[in-house]
Structures are given as structure tokens and as C-alpha cells.
């Protein structure tokens, strides 16, 4: 069987708890994933964008980058990127073949899932390709996710929102507990503005800080301006080895966002964590991000912090890979000396800005102009992500009404997805996708009516191509088309637009 057909035969959405299977597979190959410095990024929303930002920043340095994300929008090769490019299909296929052949010859590794096979193959390929930094996104949750076999140099929890509750728990603190499973002893943790809109927000942050305290992890927290005092007071009450708070403020428009970052650190305390040295020197300032939305401020703050903390490790790995045995000590210690010797503060900051200026990611607030009609495609499928998208629309397209097209998976909550758009929606088009997990249009309609009772006009179209065609026909210069609810809708829209030669 062709390796790609074998992968598809495993069923993309089948899950099994436990790490023992993927651990066994990669141990048989000599644990290639542990030979590469890594960044591990978890959270509900913002993971993929943060990965893209870290990749863009580190690509400005003499490094060979690798990133692993999910899901893919069009082709599975999107999940593994080397040097910013999708892995060639034949290379991915060969990696999957090697994993398959091992599985078939070892009863201890039978029953691997689609995601486990793809993760193992991707980490094997990264090692073969001589990658200097592995930037990995958690697939779901954290504790039992296949990516949680990494020994990262820094981790992040971007956000907490109500999603995947059947697997992660029915309340934000339970979901936080699962996502904190990626935190490793003595490893710096960057925490986004988690649960900022939920009553449980402080409880979630306290849980993260409890885990960090027990594990001796330095902490960086991104905070909104109006919560700065509360966040600093909270951090001061914990016995983490060292901490920083990043104040992030954004102004958005014309498809890009100008973000100001400001650092706050313990009063009268010298840095105890060497990896914070670069943050203290470089973080503060303004950054122009070619992505829309004020929520990008949190993503950017996390990405810059992660990039600066892992940069010394990646540069040392690059030297070691080039044959410089003296780099081994620097790699183990994460010494910042090499960075300081090679780059002045102003040069380093400009390299970070240069990387950010060329970041791109599909399906996250992506804006298109089609014969004068403007549309936004966003994979948002929970309450927090929908709120962020609504704010982006109001900032960039004030006064425009929205023609909304949605499809969702069965485990999502349509009412939460629709509620933030109250008063903006002119028409709603509901469709279903040809995948086993897709929510039927009847269930989707019932869920929508629970959260959006003031929608003036609803259209139901089972076939996505017809739904997309009619949705686009309704657009005019006074409205904007928004497609959301599932990343799996993206491919159908792009294929339709391609057929129309737009």
C-alpha cells in the first residue's frame, strides 16, 4: 500500500490516549526528536499563528527551521515545514513508510493513530534534514498529545477557551489542567492572556502558576493593560524562579496590525533566569505585523518571547551540526554569549522585526478581494475566537453588514460561534462538509438558533459548492463575506475560487 494511502486508512479523526506507542516508535529510531532544540506551543486559540511567527522570526538567522502544525487546510504536506516550505510529498511519504514498516514488525507499536504516525514521521524527517529548531503545535489538549514527547527549551500556553470538552473537561480549569501537561521542569513558560473574558480566568492563571512553581519554571505572562496591576500582584505572590509580564497594545487596519510591547519585571530584582536577558534587552518597542486583528498582540508577544529564549540553543545546535564541538556546552546551557557576540541589540531587534514583517498564515483572518467583493476566511470555531474575529471585522470594516457562511464539526457549539456576531449578520448560510465529523445542517441550524435569534435571513445548503456560490452572490460593496466555523471549510472555498479563476 502506498504510504499516503496507509496514512489515510488510519482515519484522520481517530484518537487514543497515551504516549507509549509514539515513544516506542521513536525510541527505535534513536529518539531523533530529542536531538533538536524545540519550542512547544499549546492552547485553544492562536497556536498556529504563534508557530508561524516564531518560524518567521528565527528564519532571519542562519538557522534551519522546522515546524509541525495541525490541521492541514488543503494538503497534508502543510503540516511539516522545513525552511518555511511544505515538505515535499515524496519525502513525507518516505518518512511514513519507515514508520509503517517499523510498526508492522513490532507488536509493541501496533495501533498508532493518524496523528501519531504523522508526528513520528515529521520528527524523524526533521532530524534527517538537519533542523536546528523544532517549532511544534500541540494537536489537542497537551498531556496526552503525541507532540508531548518533546524535551522543549521553552513552552507556551496561548489561550484557554471552551473547546474539545468531551476530551479535555467541561470547565476552563479542567481544560487548563490538560494543557499544562506540556510544562516540563525548569523550562520557561510563556502564558497568553488566558480566559480574559471568563470568570474563571484568574483560577486558570493560578493553576498554571501552581504548576510552574512546582516545576521550578520561569514564567512570562502576557497581559492586557487594564489587568497589569492584578497580574503583577499575582505573580509576586508565587515562588517561581523568575518572571516577566509583557504589556501588549494593538492598533489594526488595512490587513495589518501595529503592536507595542512593554516589559514589566520584579521591582529591584536582577534577572535570575539567563534566558530572560535577551527579552529584557530586545522585547520593548513597536512591531508591524501583516495580519489583521488586535488579538495578534498576544500572539506576537508570545512569539517574540519564545524566539529570543530559544535562539541561543538553535544557534549552538547549528554550530554543533557544522562540526564545532565547542558548541556542545553552549547548547546544554543555553548560553546567550554567542548571541551577544554576534548581534548588537539594535541589529537583533531589527532582525526580529524583519521576520515578523514577512509572517503569513492561511485561514486565520485571511482577507480576499474578489471582483470588488471582500471576504474573510477564518477557521474560528469557539466563543473566544469568534469574539476576536468580530472585533477584527468592526476595526477593519466598520459599519459593514456581514454575510456569514459556516460549517462546523459535530463536537463544536454553534450557539457560541454565532453569539458574538449579534447585530452584524445580514444573512447566514449553513452548509455541511464531506467528512465523517461534520455536523449536519439540521443540528447546525438548531445550535445557531440558540445563539443567534436575531438573524434576519438563513439559508441552508447541504452541498458546500452551492452554498459558497450563493454566499458570494449576496455580497456587495456595503457588506463583507465571512466564512468561519471550521478549518475544513477553507479547502472548499479555495477550490471554488480556483475554478472561477479569481
- At residue 334, the pLDDT reads 87
Who has greater pLDDT, 297 or 163? Answer: 297
Who has greater pLDDT, 454 or 461? Answer: 461
- At residue 99, the pLDDT reads 95
- At residue 246, the pLDDT reads 96
What does the pLDDT average to over 287-314?
96
What does the pLDDT average to over 420-439?
91
482 Cβ neighbours under 8 A, 6+ residues apart: 375, 376, 378, 389, 393, 402, 403, 404, 405
Interval 350-366: pLDDT, tens:
999 999 999 999 999 89
- pLDDT at residue 421 is higher than 70: yes
Interval 113-162: pLDDT, tens:
999 999 999 999 999 999 999 999 999 888 999 999 999 999 999 988 76
- pLDDT at residue 170 is higher than 80: no
pLDDT confidence bin for 431, thresholds 50/70/90: very high
Contact 135, 68 (CB under 8 A): yes
Q: How far apart, in whole angstroms, are the C-alpha atoms of residue 143 and residue 2?
A: 32
407 Cβ neighbours under 8 A, 6+ residues apart: 430, 431, 432, 433, 438, 439, 444, 464, 485, 486, 488, 489
Task: Report residue 285 as a C-alpha cell.
Answer: 518597542
- At residue 105, the pLDDT reads 65
- At residue 375, the pLDDT reads 94
- At residue 502, the pLDDT reads 45
Domains and CATH numbers, the chain: 1-30+64-131 (no CATH), 36-61+135-357 (3.40.1190.10), 366-499 (3.90.190.20)
Q: What is the pTM of this model?
A: 0.94
Radius of gyration of the chain (CA): 22
- pLDDT at residue 259 is higher than 90: yes
Contact 67, 81 (CB under 8 A): yes
Residue 395 CB coordination number (10 Å): 16
pLDDT confidence bin for 270, thresholds 50/70/90: low
Residue 174 Cα distances to 66, 307, 459, angstroms: 31, 29, 37
Closest CA to 427 of 380, 387, 475, 464: 475
Torsion angles phi and psi, residue 105, rounded to 5:
-100, 0
The Cα angle at residue 495 between residues 403 and 376, in degrees rounded to 5 = 30
- pLDDT at residue 294 is higher than 60: yes
Interval 393-417: pLDDT, tens:
999 999 899 999 999 999 888 988 8
Torsion angles phi and psi, residue 40, rounded to 5:
-120, 120
| Proportion of the chain in helix, strand, coil states, percent, rounded to 5 | 45, 20, 35
- At residue 108, the pLDDT reads 55
Interval 67-123: pLDDT, tens:
999 999 999 999 999 999 999 999 999 999 999 999 886 655 568 999 999 999 999
Amino acid at each position: 500500500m502506498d504510504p499516503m494511502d496507509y496514512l489515510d486508512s488510519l482515519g484522520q479523526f481517530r484518537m487514543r490516549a497515551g504516549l507509549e506507542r509514539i515513544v516506542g516508535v521513536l525510541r527505535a529510531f534513536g529518539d531523533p526528536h530529542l536531538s533538536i532544540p524545540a519550542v512547544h506551543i499549546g492552547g485553544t486559540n492562536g497556536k498556529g499563528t504563534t508557530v508561524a511567527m516564531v518560524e518567521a522570526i528565527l528564519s532571519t538567522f542562519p538557522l534551519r527551521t522546522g515546524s509541525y502544525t495541525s490541521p492541514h487546510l488543503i494538503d497534508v504536506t502543510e503540516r511539516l515545514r522545513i525552511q518555511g516550505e511544505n515538505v515535499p510529498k515524496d519525502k513525507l511519504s518516505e518518512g511514513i513508510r519507515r514508520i509503517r514498516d517499523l510498526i508492522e514488525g513490532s507488536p509493541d507499536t501496533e495501533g498508532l493513530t493518524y496523528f501519531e504516525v504523522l508526528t513520528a514521521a515529521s520528527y524523524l524527517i526533521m532530524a534527517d534534514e538537519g533542523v536546528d529548531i523544532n517549532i511544534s503545535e500541540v494537536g489537542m489538549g497537551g498531556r496526552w498529545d503525541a507532540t508531548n514527547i518533546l524535551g522543549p527549551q521553552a513552552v507556551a500556553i496561548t489561550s484557554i477557551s471552551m473547546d474539545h470538552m468531551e476530551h479535555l473537561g467541561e470547565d476552563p480549569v479542567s481544560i487548563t489542567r490538560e494543557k499544562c501537561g506540556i510544562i516540563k521542569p525548569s523550562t520557561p513558560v510563556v502564558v497568553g492572556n488566558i480566559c480574559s473574558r471568563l470568570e474563571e480566568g484568574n483560577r486558570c492563571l493560578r493553576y498554571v502558576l501552581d504548576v510552574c512553581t512546582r516545576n521550578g519554571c520561569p514564567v512570562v505572562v502576557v497581559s492586557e493593560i487594564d489587568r497589569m496591576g492584578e497580574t503583577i500582584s499575582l505573580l509576586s505572590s508565587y515562588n517561581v524562579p523568575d518572571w516577566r509580564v509583557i504589556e501588549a497594545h494593538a492598533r489594526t487596519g488595512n490587513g495589518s496590525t501595529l503592536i507595542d510591547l512593554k516589559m514589566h519585571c520584579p521591582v529591584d530584582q536582577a534577572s535570575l533566569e539567563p534566558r530572560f536577558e535577551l527579552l529584557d534587552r530586545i522585547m520593548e518597542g513597536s512591531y508591524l505585523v501583516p495580519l489583521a486583528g488586535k488579538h495578534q498582540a498576544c500572539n506576537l508577544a508570545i512569539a517574540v518571547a519564545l524566539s529570543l529564549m530559544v535562539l541561543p540553543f538553535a544557534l549552538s545546535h547549528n554550530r554543533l551540526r557544522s562540526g564545532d564541538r565547542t558548541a556542545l556546552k553552549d547548547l546544554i546551557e543555553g548560553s546567550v554569549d554567542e548571541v551577544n557576540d554576534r548581534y548588537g541589540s539594535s541589529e537583533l531587534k531589527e532582525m526580529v522585526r524583519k521576520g515578523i514583517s514577512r509572517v503569513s498564515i492561511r485561514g486565520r483572518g485571511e482577507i480576499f478581494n474578489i471582483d470588488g467583493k471582500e471576504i474573510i476566511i477564518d477557521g474560528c470555531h469557539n466563543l473566544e475566537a469568534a469574539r476576536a474575529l468580530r472585533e477584527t471585522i468592526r476595526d477593519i470594516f466598520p459599519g459593514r453588514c456581514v454575510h456569514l457562511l459556516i460549517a462546523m464539526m459535530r463536537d463544536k457549539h454553534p450557539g457560541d460561534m454565532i453569539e458574538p456576531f449579534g447585530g452584524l449578520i445580514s444573512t447566514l448560510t449553513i452548509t455541511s462538509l464531506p467528512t465523517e465529523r461534520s455536523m449536519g445542517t439540521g443540528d447546525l441550524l438548531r445550535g445557531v438558533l440558540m445563539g443567534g435569534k436575531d438573524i434576519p435571513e438563513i439559508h441552508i445548503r447541504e452541498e458546500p459548492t452551492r452554498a459558497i456560490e450563493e454566499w458570494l452572490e449576496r455580497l456587495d460593496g456595503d457588506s463583507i463575506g465571512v466564512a468561519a466555523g471550521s478549518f475544513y471549510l477553507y479547502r472548499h472555498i479555495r477550490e471554488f475560487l480556483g475554478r472561477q479563476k479569481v
